[in-house]
A and B are shown apart, each in its own frame.
Chain A
Amino acid sequence: METTTNGQNGAPALPLYTKKDFESGVDPRWCPGCGDFSIINQVQKLLPTVGVPREKIVFISGIGCSSRFPYYMNNYGMHTLHGRAPSFASGLKVSRPDLMVWVITGDGDALAIGGNHFIHAMRRNMDIKLVMFNNRIYGLTKGQVSPTSELGKKTKTTPYGSPDYPFNPPALALGAGATFVARTVDVEGAHMGGVLKAAAEHKGSTYVEVYQNCPVFNDGAYTYMTEKAVRADSILRMEQGKPLLFGKDGKKGIRFNPQTVHLEVVTVGENGITEKDILVHDATHEDPTIAFMLANLTGKPGFPTPIGVFRDVRQPTCDELTWQQIAEVKEKKGEPTLEKLLASGETWTVK
């Protein structure tokens, strides 16, 4: 038995998979134009490249439009309960560390009803890859306010505007201790592919936020940043080891101002600013402070929205630590037998 419960050890050489191998043959039932299509497309393109046999990949989802995802994949999958996907994933991963476990969830699923499971999955550094489709609305239940809807947002349950402040999900994930935190956008296929690849390679709690358009209940939620005309100025593409530059001519940049202890937008070539002043992106910082500051630029007037990897830090995972402990205890106590187990503790004999 040991780490696996099915007795399958030593996988044979991997077959050469194609994208088709990961399609279940069930046609997705999302509405035409839904951002979910582009996400599943990228995931199905990614999986042949991750070096894991198909039968060892598991997709677990909660409830919502996004959570129908596993039915369309040709892996092992579980469509579970609203908000609870991280709990199934955590149990499966601890029990079967040999598996690659993904969680597919929505903003309502992960952050409202599932908020508790979400933060705990992140803090434990369980090696699960959680991809949250953020459409800033409840899709499946047809258009109610979500924990990521903007303040003042009019929805079916907030006809006069939402009086709730939204979560900033990457900041929440960072605060909860996620060792990998990233954001991407449904309309940026190539970018999403890169982020998902990095997520697949990370070992530990992995949070990927995908800005996803829901054309039916929240159409155009991200056009303020994805429209061609504004894209360059409104998106900050974080790339490892590169200065955080953006803008049409790539001259705008993010500087850390030690006096105000804030991030600020500066322009290279103006006021004596050179490229050296621009913050160089390093997602591998143990300390998540800068990643948190970057996450907090989201929605801040005058700042671009960061996409890419905020944090990517390798720490022993909960599943690794669990099995390390089991190995140590076995080493110390020796292989037990059923007889020994039954007779442990103080005993006496009746003749």
Chain B
Amino acid sequence: MSTPATPSDRKIEQVDTVTIRFVGDSGDGMQLTGTEFTKASALAGNDLATFPDYPAEIRAPAGSLFGVSGYQLNFSSRDIHTPGDAPDVLVAMNPAAFKTNLADLKVGGMLIVNTGAFNAQNLEKAGYKSNPLDDAALKQNYKVFAVDISALTEAALQGSGLSAKEIARCKNYFALGLMFWLYNRDAEHEIGNINKKFAKKPPIAAANVAVFKAGYNFGETSELFHASYEVPAAKLAPGVYRNMTGNYATALGFAAVARQTGRQVFLGSYPITPATEILQEMSNLKEDGVVTFQAEDEIAGIGSAIGAAFGGALACTSTSGPGLALKSEMIGLACITELPLVIVNVQRGGPSTGMPTKTEQADLLFSLYGRHGECPVPVLAAQSPADCFYSAMEAMKIAVKWMTPVILLTDGYLANGSEPFRIPDPSELPKVKVSYQTAANGEAGEFLPYKRDAKLVRPWAVPGTAGLEHRVGGLEKDSLSGMVSYDGANHEKMVRTRAQKVANVVEDVPDVKVSGPEKGKVLLLSWGGTYGSVRTTAEALQAEGKSVAHAHLRWLNPLPKNLGAVLRSYEKVVIPEVNAGQLAFYVRASFPGVDPVQFNRINGKPIKTFELAAAVRELL
């Protein structure tokens, strides 16, 4: 490319962690810009975590406050667990994006704005009476880089023959090029990516490459920036890595089960934000033994999965809050028939449609208890985007081993966020063992579908197996034959047996591990997607010499055997959650005498570590 051949005379400063947020109109291509920059950071060997934050509206009116789409990326030479609390660098493509995000930018942070979008019309749409860039205070608080990205993009594409609209769509590549220069990223590699991505539309590919280069060269040649930066590679465990979102990781986990076992994995599902990609991704893995079925609604989604499970498939269904509500009668059926099934619930802001594109952890109690009748099911929660892979495999392993529906909780933040995933050797993976009953098990040579083994697990006999024909269903069944039974004593026995079986799953639940002092003042107890924030907070407080430990719950039902003892080893237990206190409630009920201090945020965002750290310091 036509970047100056001689290295820039400007200095390159080393920094260890940077958080960048790209914000613009939903049509501005901020998600693409973010993911491309993420890939480049990964290739540079940084540890990273991302947090896309997009509006619920698909095509919000241009320039509107509610149409702002953002992508935050934290990249580092250290081991990091979150996409960063507050950006060090904010790239704002228009006044609306500027207005809705400026408050998050760290004081002293770098603000790059597209001044070309700060015209009368856009200012008015964002509710500005005057141009906020003229405010003197702005320059005092931040390092402001005012760049007319719109005009520079137009200039780069003069004579390209593209329409004004097409040209306007290229400007995210200017911003990307500029950031590539600023952080010394591999521009050649990105040009290759652009050409690949737009291979079917060569004029667009050429335009984006031109604009990308213009952005890069602008950084180099304009005197605006006194330095560029470099974030050295992190010391990640050796191996081959790929970047994955939580939803992709979930899909890959299920597909891995199909490959590992040589059995069919069946997904019955219905699109719902933010779970949809699981269905989409799995639909694309047909060669791997995955069968997907897009049903007419969430009820039919899980129904089809239960039907497939009856047929011997490793069945799962994916959904989000409102869909989980619809599935609750079906989960009861899976529980009473004792068929293996994984229900993935990607939690989002609720109740009802709530905030579909924003994250929340408010379905914990619903997952544990949200069914009629006595209906316990194992519940586990993934802790990071890449961990969704292992969680999906583990959930399936438990479902099949124990013949039970299992709820796997992820959330909008994990689903869309991404992080590097070290590709494991197949031997490192959780082993899913599938075995079907092939012979009669009764004394008189009959088949007893509800005759259990020592762990209380019933046999799985699938259609096609001669001699084991039997019926399952939602009516209470005799404890051996599975025939309908209205006998009260039998019902009580069955209710208790099903509960005991789920309690027995504890043998597969590892003890909770504590990082930090084994006894002390404060234990931070997290679950699910807040792992990263809480871990980072604990590490920061430990670095200050504070007596703070961290424990994370992967299994919510059954709870780890040692949890009570761990909780009682600290003066205070603090439970940070993105809900109104559901784990805290559950812990109080499960461990009498333990009264956790709650730290709750219900703002649709991951917990900010500095807020949590401040709250914990007050307790010390």
Q: Are B241 and A337 in contact (CB under 8 A)?
A: no
Q: Does the CB pair B308–A94 fall under 8 Å?
A: yes
Q: Does A179 contact B (CB under 8 A)?
A: no
A87 touches B311 (CB 8 A): no
- Complex formed: what's the CA distance from A271 to B259 in Å? 73
A6 contacts B465, CB within 8 Å?
A: yes
Is B424 a contact partner of A1 (Cβ separation < 8 A)? no
Question: How far apart are A114's CB and chain B's nearest CB, in angstroms?
Answer: 10
Contact bitstring A120-150, B, C-beta under 8 A = 1, else 0: 1000000000000000000000000000000
Q: CA separation between A184 and B466, bound complex, in Å?
A: 32
Q: Which residues of A contact B238 (CB under 8 A)?
A: 350-351
Are B307 and A88 within 8 A (Cβ)?
A: yes
Q: Is B299 an interface residue (CB 8 A)?
A: yes
Contact, CB under 8 Å: B263 / A1: yes
Is A180 an interface residue when CB atoms closer than 8 A count as contact? no
One of A49-57, A158-166, A300-308 contacting the partner: A49-57
Q: Is A339 positioned at the interface, with any CB of B under 8 Å from its CB?
A: yes
Q: How far is the CB of B518 from chain A (nearest CB, A)?
A: 32
Q: A261 — which chain B residues lie within 8 A by C-beta?
A: none
Write out the residue numbers on chain A whose beta carbons fall within 8 Å of the beta carbon of B244.
345
Contact between chains at A350 and B45 (CB < 8 Å): yes
Chain B residues, Cβ within 8 Å of A73: 471
Residue B39 is within 8 A (CB to CB) of chain A in the complex? yes
Q: Is A208 an interface residue (CB 8 A)?
A: no
Q: Is B408 an interface residue (CB 8 A)?
A: no
Q: How far is the CA of A284 from the CA of B480 in the complex (A)?
A: 48
Q: Is B381 interfacial (CB 8 A cutoff)?
A: no
Q: Separation in Å of the A124 CB from the closest CB of chain B?
A: 9
> What CA separation (Å) do A79 and B465 show in the bound complex?
19
B303 x A8 contact (CB < 8 A) = no
Across the interface, do A77 and B471 meet the contact criterion of CB distance under 8 Å? yes
Stretch at the interface among B105-113, B157-165, B285-293, B504-512: B285-293
> Could you tell me if B300 and A90 are in contact, using CB atoms closer than 8 angstroms?
yes
CB–CB A341/B262 < 8 A: no
Chain A, residue nearest B313 (CB): A95
- Partner among A5, A76, A330 whose Cβ is within 8 Å of the Cβ of B471: A76
Partner-contacting stretch, out of A185-193, A222-230, A236-244, A321-329: A321-329
Q: Is B296 an interface residue (CB 8 A)?
A: yes
With A95-B291, A98-B464 already in contact, the answer to whether A117 and B300 are too (CB < 8 A) is yes
Given B256, B286, B308, B474, which contacts A338 in the complex, CB threshold below 8 Å? B256
Expressed in whole angstroms, the Cα–Cα distance for A339 and B313 within the complex equals 22
Q: Is the interface of B mostly helix, strand, loop or mixed?
A: mixed
Bound form: Cα–Cα A116–B270 in Å: 14
In the bound complex, what is the Cα–Cα distance between A350 and B305 (angstroms)?
A: 39
B593 at the interface (CB under 8 A from A): no
Q: Is there a chain B Cβ closer than 8 Å to A287's Cβ?
A: no
Across the two chains, which residue of chain A brings its CB closest to B426? A338
B241 touches A348 (CB 8 A): yes
A347 near B474 with CB under 8 A, answer no
The verdict on A263 contacting chain B, using a C-beta distance below 8 Å, is no
| Contacts of A61-99 to chain B: CB distance below 8 A | 63, 70-71, 73-81, 84, 86-96, 98-99
Q: Which residues of A contact B239 (CB under 8 A)?
A: 349-350
User: Within the complex, which residue of B243, B462, B463, B471 is in contact with A70, where a contact is CB–CB below 8 Å?
Assistant: B471
Q: Give CA–CA (A6, B438) in the complex, Å.
A: 10
Question: Contact: A8 with B293, CB < 8 Å?
Answer: no
Contact with A along B253-278 (1 / 0, CB 8 A): 00110011011101010000000000
Which residue in A79, A86, A98, A333 is a CB contact (below 8 Å) of B474?
A79
CB pair B242–A343 under 8 Å, yes or no, is yes
Looking at the assembled complex, report how far the CB atom of A323 sits from the nearest CB atom of chain B, in whole angstroms: 9
The distance in angstroms between the C-alpha atoms of A277 and B483, with both chains bound, is: 57
A346 close to chain B: CB less than 8 A: yes
Closest residue of chain B to A3 (Cβ to Cβ) is B264
Does the CB pair B296–A99 fall under 8 Å?
Answer: no
Task: Tell me whether B365 is interfacial, beta carbon within 8 Å.
Answer: no
CA of A79 to CA of B308, assembled, Å: 14
Q: Which residues of B contact A54 (CB under 8 A)?
A: 466, 469
Chain A proximity of B464: nearest CB distance (Å)? 4
**A79, A84, A91, A94 — most chain B CB neighbours (10 Å):** A91
- Contact: B304 with A94, CB < 8 Å? yes
A5-B311, A348-B240 in contact; A76/B470 too (CB < 8 A)? yes
Residues of B within 8 A of A99 (CB): 311, 463-464
- Complex Cα spacing A322 to B45, Å: 41
Do B464 and A78 have beta carbons less than 8 Å apart? no
- The minimal Cβ–Cβ distance linking A88 to chain B, given in whole angstroms, is 3
The residue on A at minimum CB distance from B467 is A55
Q: How far is the CB of B418 from chain A (nearest CB, A)?
A: 12
Please tell me which one of the listed residues A91, A96, A339 contacts residue B463 in the complex, with CB atoms under 8 A apart: A96
A4 to B484, CA, bound (A): 29
B422's nearest neighbour on chain A, judged by CB, is A350
Interfacial chain B residues near A77, Cβ < 8 Å: 470-473
- Whether B462 lies near A5 (C-beta < 8 A) is yes
Q: Is the CB of B311 within 8 A of A116?
A: no
Partner of A91, one of B241, B304, B337: B304
| Contact of B299 with A87 in the complex, beta carbons under 8 Å | yes
Q: A79-B474, A95-B308, A351-B238 are in contact. Are A84 and B300 (CB under 8 A)?
A: yes
What's the least CB distance linking A82 to chain B, in Å? 9
Interface assignment of A270: CB less than 8 Å from any CB of chain B: no
User: Known: A56-B463, A95-B311. Contact between A87 and B468, CB under 8 A?
Assistant: no
Complex CA gap A77/B474 in Å reads: 12
What's the Cα separation between A346 and B40 when bound, in Å?
11
> With contacts A5-B263, A88-B310, A343-B423 known, is A55 near B291, CB below 8 A?
no
Candidate in B260, B291, B473 with the most chain A CB atoms within 10 angstroms? B473
- Is the C-beta of A336 less than 8 angstroms from some C-beta in chain B? yes
* Known contacts A76-B470, A91-B308, A96-B308; 5 further A-B pairs (Cβ under 8 A): A1-B289, A87-B268, A87-B303, A96-B464, A341-B255
- 11 of the cross-chain contacts (CB-CB < 8 Å) are A53-B466, A55-B466, A80-B303, A94-B293, A94-B308, A95-B312, A334-B287, A339-B426, A342-B256, A342-B424, A347-B241
Binding site for B on A (CB under 8 A): 1, 4-6, 8, 24, 26, 53-58, 60, 63, 70-71, 73-81, 84, 86-96, 98-99, 116-117, 120, 322, 325-326, 329-330, 333-339, 341-343, 345-351
Rank and list the top 5 A-B pairs by shortest CB-CB distance, nearest first.
Answer: A91-B304, A79-B473, A87-B303, A91-B307, A88-B307
